[in-house]
Structure 1
Amino acid sequence: MGQEYTAKSFKSGNSVAIRVPAGLGVEPDREWLAEWVNGELHLKAKPPAKRKIDISGFAGKAPGIKLAPREDFEERPSTIAARKAEGLS
């Protein structure tokens, strides 16, 4: 294997933490998966999260396209009353 280092655990709030020596080349702000297997602590680098595309700015950009009505919530009573007052429903 490679170079061996010694690290000491310590209390940090309600957790126990272990400092990783810089010589191991672990970059900061990376997420890790920790697993306790037969008395050994196994750490695996978590794969980076897949980037998501924000499409919120595209709505209304294409002329002639009508958005489907939203059916995942009920209309407010004030909206229904205003529409009835205008004679649209």
Structure 2
Amino acid sequence: MDKEYKAKVFKSGNSLALRLPKELGLKEGSTMVLREEQSGYHFEPEDAPKKKLDVDKFWGKAKGMIHVPQPREDFEPRPSSLKAKP
């Protein structure tokens, strides 16, 4: 047998919000998808987004690799820098 819960609708800013009971086991900040069906409304948790690789944690940790800047060849040097060279 399905359990029945009551939820309260209230105004939040210019929107309406639905306060759900804690017994549902939803996590704070989770996103839900709400669908309107002929028999009423149906909601379910949104699929979790795929995690992206964060390279900030291991940037510069590769031993033996030295970053040597390469000269850029995709543009001409400025005329003022040509005059400065002897």
Q: TM-score, normalised by structure 1?
A: 0.60
Q: Which amino acid aligns with 2:9?
A: S
Q: Which amino acid aligns with 2:81?
A: E
CA shift for structure 1 position 33:
1.0
Q: What pairs up with 1:49-60 in 2 under 5 angstroms?
A: 49-55=49-55, 57=59
Match of 1:34 in 2: 34
Match of 1:8 in 2: 8
Larger radius of gyration: 2
Task: Report the CA distance shift for 1:50/1:66 in structure 2 as closer, same or farther (over 3 A).
Answer: farther
Aligned residues: 74
Q: Which segments of structure 1 move beyond 2 Å, counting only runs of 4 or more? A: 54-58, 61-67
Report percent identity of matched pairs. Answer: 29
For 2:81, which of 66, 74, 86 is the aligned residue? 86
CA shift for structure 1 position 64:
8.0
Higher fraction of helix: 1
Cα-to-partner distance string for 1:1-50 (whole Å, 9 max, x where unaligned): 43111112111111111111111111211111112222511111011111
